Amino acid sequence: MEKFYIHTDAQGRILYRVSLDEIPGAAMVERGELIESDAHPDTHYVLTGVPALRPTQATKLTGKTLTKLPVPCAIIIDGTTYDCADDHADLEFDAPGSYRVRVVAHPYLDKEFTIENPA
């Protein structure tokens, strides 16, 4: 019978999820290589060896200012990553248009915003 197993990094990020027959999976669990769980990397992380739901960010967008940022985090604007070590960020844009902004900070769920920068 197949079961789901996950592999994590030292910070509890689920790196991958696999389906294996019970016998080889159990052996890998015994060696500490895998954890038996059907947890998904998009929604879960591992806290003290136990899968848990990733918490929601409290990040807010007011105008072009992000507040209540998790520290540290990464702010990704249209695919370009900016590291942030503060709990707020004032965003500036060189050109008018619509910008996709995503805040990433493990173990929190990613949070996305769209900012319209007028001409």
Mean pLDDT of the chain: 93
Q: How confident is the model at residue 105 (pLDDT cuts 50, 70, 90)?
A: very high
Q: What is the pLDDT of residues 24-66, one digit of tens each?
A: 778 888 888 899 999 999 999 999 989 999 999 999 999 999 9
Do residue 87 and residue 107 come from a single domain? yes
Do residue 74 and residue 30 come from a single domain? no
Do residue 47 and residue 64 come from a single domain? no
Beta strand spans in 1-119 (E):
2-8, 14-21, 35-36, 44-47, 50-53, 60-62, 65-67, 73-77, 80-84, 88-90, 97-104, 111-117
Task: For residue 54, give every residue at least 6 positions away whose Cβ sits within 8 Å of its Cβ, in sequence order, or none.
Answer: 43, 44, 45, 107, 108, 109
Do residue 96 and residue 111 come from a single domain? yes
Do residue 70 and residue 21 come from a single domain? no
- What total of structural domains would you count in the chain? 2
Do residue 93 and residue 112 come from a single domain? yes
Q: Which domain holds residue 70?
A: 60-117
Do residue 44 and residue 66 come from a single domain? no
Write down the pLDDT at residue 23.
72
Do residue 71 and residue 112 come from a single domain? yes
Write down the pLDDT at residue 82.
98
Task: For residue 45, give every residue at least 6 positions away whose Cβ sits within 8 Å of its Cβ, in sequence order, or none.
Answer: 8, 12, 13, 14, 51, 52, 54, 106, 107
Do residue 8 and residue 35 come from a single domain? yes
Do residue 34 and residue 76 come from a single domain? no
| pTM for the whole structure | 0.84
